Structure 1
Amino acid sequence: MKEGGGGGGDGGFVRADQIDLKSLDEQLERHLSRAWTMEKRKEEAATGADQRGRPALAPAHSLQRRQRREDWEIDPAKLVIRGVIARGTFGTVHRGVYDGHDVAVKLLDWGEDDHRSEQDIAALRAAFSQEVSVWHKLDHPNVTKFIGAVMGARDLNIQTENGHIGMPSNVCCVIVEYLPGGALKGFLIKNRRKKLAFKVVVQIALDLARGLSYLHSKKIVHRDVKTENMLLDKTRTVKIADFGVARLEASNPSDMTGETGTLGYMAPEVLNGSPYNRKCDVYSFGICLWEIYCCDMPYPDLSFSEVTSAVVRQNLRPEIPRCCPSSLANVMKRCWDANPDKRPEMAEVVSMLEAIDTSKGGGMIPVDQRQGWLSCFRRYRGP
């Protein structure tokens, strides 16, 4: 990732636009396996002596703890962490309760690693602090509500069937509202055969578009827009989640480079390693809109390398069904235009979706109801 805060008239984001939380929590997957070892160290710290009877020294990072509590910091004593609900390459999410409310808790652990210096850990913590200080100010019905975070707490416990497991002293966590509807991706998979009513398609798309429009108004680029990162509440309202690679938009587009996101949703300029801006989210939204309408996966028969090559060099896009109303198909095409400058702003996408008439239907036709369904799809290449 390139250094420098960039110039330009959007003013003064400086280091904030370098935040990338995926690099922060890469150690997470190993934290449970070390938990038992850390228990012994905690006991030694509690007794104030090591095995040779000498006073135990506090870790350097704890000596450097801030003297004041940030306004996004929660009280660890009010947090109960329970079972795992999701595991991934870059994170483990647990169910939990904070101050009597159901929450989701993402755990991060950067310590006790021979490859991490104190300076590295300090830099990771500074970036973590910047990221959550941005997220905690967000307030929108289509963005997952941030509740708080804690860095370096020593008294966190995970409840398991076998009792409590103490966490390493370097553990950090992010606490957000718990959404019982799960990921939008799962909802679409469940409806893969029968498809969704057109009014439901447009409502889901509007939820996502409004959330992204709000983020962009705050100069935040999500960078990993996909149905897997969108969650549903109990009323089926869509909320944007997983800000693991979100960052403030650089004033200078050349400061926003590097392949970040998920293949199949990534814009051509991102795949190319070219400079990009918030319009990469607009492209990803176009792919999500197709997925919401079709309840299917884009490019199911292509390998990763084939997708990358075809999207960039051949302008390949998902197949638009012939049964798709032109009003919705037009939104898809404009959003996934190869030229970022020709893509609409998300605020315009919201207006386009709001203008669509859903009273006469127009949803995807289920396979068992199609006649001549093989002609229902057409491959879309280019604007």
Structure 2
Amino acid sequence: MSRAWLALSAVLWLAAFVSSCHAQLFHESQAVFLSDCQKAWGTSAISGWSQGANCSAAEGLFCDQSGMILEMSMEESGLAGPIPDSISRLTRISFLNLYNNHLNGSIPAGIGSLIQLGYLRLGKNRLTGSIPAGISSFTSLASVGFEDNQLSGLIPGEIGNLLSLEALNLSNNSLIGSVPNSISLLIGLTHLDLSKNLLTGSIPNSILFLTGLSYLFVGQNQFTGTIPAGIGNLDQLEMLDLSSSSLSGSIPDKITSLTWVSFLWLDNNSLSGALPNSFGVLSKLTSLNLSGNRLNGSIPSALANRRELNYLYLSNNMLIGSIPEFAVGSAALIHMVLSGNQLSGPIPTSIYHCTNLQRLWLDNNSLSGALPNSFGVLSKLTSFIITGTNLTCPPDYTACGPTQSPKTVFCRTCPSFCSTCGKRAPEPTPNTSSSSTSSSESSAAAGGGGVSVGAIIGIAVAAVVILLLLVAALVYFRLRMQRKPKTGLAGSLAASHCTEFSLAEVLKATNNWSEDNQLGSGAFGDVYKGVSPRDGTTVWAVKRAKLIDVDFQREIQQMADKNHPNIVRLLGFAIGGDLRTRPEQVLIYEYVPNGDLQKWTGPDAASPLNLKQRLDVLIGLARGFEYLHSFGMVHRDIKPANVLITADMQPKIADFGLVRAGEGTTVGTTRIMGTRGYVDPVYSRTSKATAASDVYSFGVLMLVVLTGQAPLTESAGGTRKITLWASECVSSGDMRSLRDPKMDAPGEAELRLAELAISCTVELTASRPSMAHIANELQAIREEVVGKDELSAAVKVDAQVQQMKNAEIEVTSQAHLLLDTCH
């Protein structure tokens, strides 16, 4: 027995010794990599780390309890130099993000050793060479981003081994050859961006097997052949870019099977034939660009009346016929570019329905007739070009719109219009060499000779009559537009009192994005303080959004009609620049003056909140998130810095990265939204944001508010998670440790609050409570501890919300009744 015991002890000791040696080797191995990083990128590159120190102290690194690197996130850190070959030593890393630095050299071949990688982003650097074939070992990889580099060579066929891949971005490089057929094996792909390369051959049918794609960008390559007839099989597509290649043939009819598509770009190819009449069935379409092709036939009337369409580009084709009549459904249209075709006839008088129109380019067509008098209601028109047409002005026509004049005017045949709008500097048009001519011409000089008194009186009377008629028509059209239910982006904004501002107004408000005005930077954009130039008093929080167009539009549409006392209110938006070059996109929110929650509950809080105030804040937040979840929205970045406190100490949820529950990451970002320590591990693994993801983050926030501790605490022993630490404290009955020393909280409140928070962070998402349940539990804790005689501010908020919901139901019912009456 003693011998057996000795043998077992020897085996256990040997195993422990080997394990210790193994761990030591791992630590030494990754220390080599960190040291190489400092040699290649500078000693300050890995801030907080020195030879022999634990990696947990380094900024941008996340390590497990044994000190092994699991994540490296150094986005926009100013890193310059090559990626060290010793990166192959990080054998346990699962998350690597070096996006937007100045890294050069090739991607190390040894990167294929990182077999546990789930996320890899090296985009927006200066990397050269080819994509290493060793990436085929990344069997767990969900997201790859090599965009905006100088990579060359072929796309390796081994890429088909990445069976877990959901997002692949290789755009803006110098990749050559054809798309490998093995890409058809990546059936989990939702985002594929191969645009802006030198790829050749035809668009492969292998892509048509990727039926889960939401975003497909393969434009600006050297593809030839036709658009695959089976493109309609990709019926989940929201964005499709096949632009700027050498594609020929007609637009396949099945493209109209893409019922979810919002952006469709087929411009600058050699496509021919007529526009499919069935384009009108694409009910989600917001941007259509078919410019620079050889398309003929007429413009389908259904296309001009799409309720959601914001941008219509059909220039430089061979389109004939007239501009179709516009229905009230055209109110969402912002840009209409029809230059360089063979269109004839007048501008339809029904153009007054396009009340949000900013750009109207009709140059180099065979259009004729007078500008319609209704043209004057286009108050947002900023760019109007009709050179190379036979359009004229009606007698005494002077209308430029009731509120502003177009900034760009090209019209040789309508001098009174140009005179009214003022002489403009030339602006080159995108489709003709004649655009270098003067942007406006002077009015005709008055002829010599006298004029009789009778003639003067007659002219004056006629002018007054015409003016009154114009004013009456304007009032009539405005009233009519107010009565009709608006649709699309413009309609949703108008219905919720969300105002469109000019970029010039935003620049003036923020002093040209002055650093003195910057309030902070969030996951979804930088935020600046500004004062509205319209009234000089309203204070704005201006978010300069990082979002791509579809996400920017989605945030406006989702937040425009959300009215809750615990959610920061969207006041307006602004767009500048050109759609194709990613415009300046600005969201304007109400300014909340009392700082964020971190200021009031963190370890450095000068005036920390008491227990009652903390519970009121948590109840208000829970009600706000419950409201969002009721619309199927999830926030994705819940943390104290994204909770603002009003003058009366009420919380407001801010910095939205809203998506529909169940949606994944966004094209062009390929990153998990959220903040380290608050992100749900299930969301990190699946990239699918759900209400349960928000519940997890809110559970962490509750613990942070209760204890005053950070979600992650670094020490020599590793990283301590607040969720695990709180669970240990509750299990051992150590409630004293959980108590924020700056808060005089009773022990019972600590226990109940901690237990509720911990229940939000359990691994099984189905076992996590809903936000409604959390709010009710928090209210019960508050009433029991503080006293039922003191009504919480959050209860008053509930009453307000219910009143608003009842009002919304009443408005909706009236709208439906009005629609029924109109039909």
Q: Same fold (TM over 0.5)?
A: yes
Report the CA distance shift for 1:250/1:237 in structure 2 as closer, same or farther (over 3 A). same
Q: Give the Å deviation of 1:274.
A: 6.0
Q: Give the Å deviation of 1:261.
A: 1.0
Per-residue CA deviations over 1:99-147 (Å, capped at 9, x if unaligned) read 431111112479xxxxxxxxxxxxx323321221111111100000011
Q: Give the Å deviation of 1:44.
A: 11
In the alignment, structure 1 residue 261 sits paired with structure 2 residue 677: no
In the alignment, what sits opposite 1:163? none
Letter aligned with residue 177 of structure 1? E
In the alignment, what sits opposite 1:350? 775
In the alignment, structure 1 residue 94 sits paired with structure 2 residue 528: yes
In the alignment, structure 1 residue 328 sits paired with structure 2 residue 753: yes
> 2: distance between equivalents of 1:251 and 1:226?
21
Q: Give the Å deviation of 1:296.
A: 2.3
> 1: distance between equivalents of 2:629 and 2:557?
17
Report the CA distance shift for 1:258/1:96 in structure 2 as closer, same or farther (over 3 A). closer
In the alignment, what sits opposite 1:125? 549
Letter aligned with residue 571 of structure 2? I
Letter aligned with residue 291 of structure 1? V
Report the CA distance shift for 1:68/1:333 in structure 2 as closer, same or farther (over 3 A). closer
CA contact 2:545–2:552 (8 Å) conserved in 1: no
CA contact 1:199–1:358 (8 Å) conserved in 2: no
CA contact 2:549–2:582 (8 Å) conserved in 1: no
In the alignment, structure 1 residue 103 sits paired with structure 2 residue 540: yes
Aligned partner of residue 288 in structure 1, secondary structure: helix
> 2: distance between equivalents of 1:109 and 1:332?
32
In the alignment, what sits opposite 2:594? 181
In the alignment, what sits opposite 1:294? 707
Letter aligned with residue 284 of structure 1? S
In the alignment, structure 1 residue 136 sits paired with structure 2 residue 563: no
In the alignment, what sits opposite 1:377? none
Q: Give the Å deviation of 1:53.
A: 11
Identity between Structure 1 and Structure 2 (%): 25
In the alignment, what sits opposite 2:724? 316
Structure 1 unaligned residues grouped into runs of 5+: 8-12, 17-42, 59-66, 111-123, 155-167, 363-383
In the alignment, what sits opposite 1:113? none
Letter aligned with residue 333 of structure 1? I
Structure with bigger RCO (C-alpha 8 Å, 6+ apart)? 1
TM-score of the pair, normalised by structure 2: 0.31
In the alignment, structure 1 residue 74 sits paired with structure 2 residue 467: no
Report the CA distance shift for 1:88/1:343 in structure 2 as closer, same or farther (over 3 A). closer
**Which residues of 2 match residues 181-220 of structure 1 at below 5 A?**
181-189=594-602, 192=605, 195-220=608-633
> 2: distance between equivalents of 1:259 and 1:69?
30
TM-score of the pair, normalised by structure 1: 0.63
Per-residue CA deviations over 1:6-62 (Å, capped at 9, x if unaligned) read 99xxxxx9679xxxxxxxxxxxxxxxxxxxxxxxxxx99962167x9972899xxxx
Q: Give the Å deviation of 1:184.
A: 1.0
CA contact 2:726–2:758 (8 Å) conserved in 1: no
CA contact 2:523–2:674 (8 Å) conserved in 1: no
Report the CA distance shift for 1:88/1:47 in structure 2 as closer, same or farther (over 3 A). same
Aligned partner of residue 173 in structure 1, secondary structure: strand
> 1: distance between equivalents of 2:602 and 2:638?
17
CA contact 2:662–2:688 (8 Å) conserved in 1: no
> 2: distance between equivalents of 1:92 and 1:258?
18
Q: Give the Å deviation of 1:193.
A: 7.9
CA contact 2:663–2:688 (8 Å) conserved in 1: no
Aligned partner of residue 763 in structure 2, secondary structure: coil
Letter aligned with residue 436 of structure 2? P
> 2: distance between equivalents of 1:350 and 1:57?
64
Q: Give the Å deviation of 1:239.
A: 0.5
Report the CA distance shift for 1:361/1:247 in structure 2 as closer, same or farther (over 3 A). same
In the alignment, structure 1 residue 248 sits paired with structure 2 residue 676: no
> 1: distance between equivalents of 2:620 and 2:713?
26
415, 436, 439: which one aligns with 1:55: 436
> 1: distance between equivalents of 2:489 and 2:769?
43
> 1: distance between equivalents of 2:660 and 2:706?
30
CA contact 2:615–2:782 (8 Å) conserved in 1: no
624, 630, 652: which one aligns with 1:239: 652
> 2: distance between equivalents of 1:48 and 1:252?
45
How many residue pairs get aligned? The number is 286
Report the CA distance shift for 1:241/1:252 in structure 2 as closer, same or farther (over 3 A). closer
In the alignment, what sits opposite 1:370? none
CA contact 1:221–1:277 (8 Å) conserved in 2: yes
Aligned partner of residue 301 in structure 1, secondary structure: strand
CA contact 2:600–2:607 (8 Å) conserved in 1: no
What RMSD in Å do the two structures reach over aligned CA positions?
4.1
In the alignment, structure 1 residue 340 sits paired with structure 2 residue 765: yes
Aligned partner of residue 329 in structure 1, secondary structure: helix
In the alignment, what sits opposite 2:573? 149
Report the CA distance shift for 1:271/1:302 in structure 2 as closer, same or farther (over 3 A). farther
Find the structure with the greater CA-based Rg. Answer: 2
CA contact 1:198–1:358 (8 Å) conserved in 2: no
> 2: distance between equivalents of 1:57 and 1:95?
39
Letter aligned with residue 138 of structure 1? K
CA contact 1:328–1:356 (8 Å) conserved in 2: yes
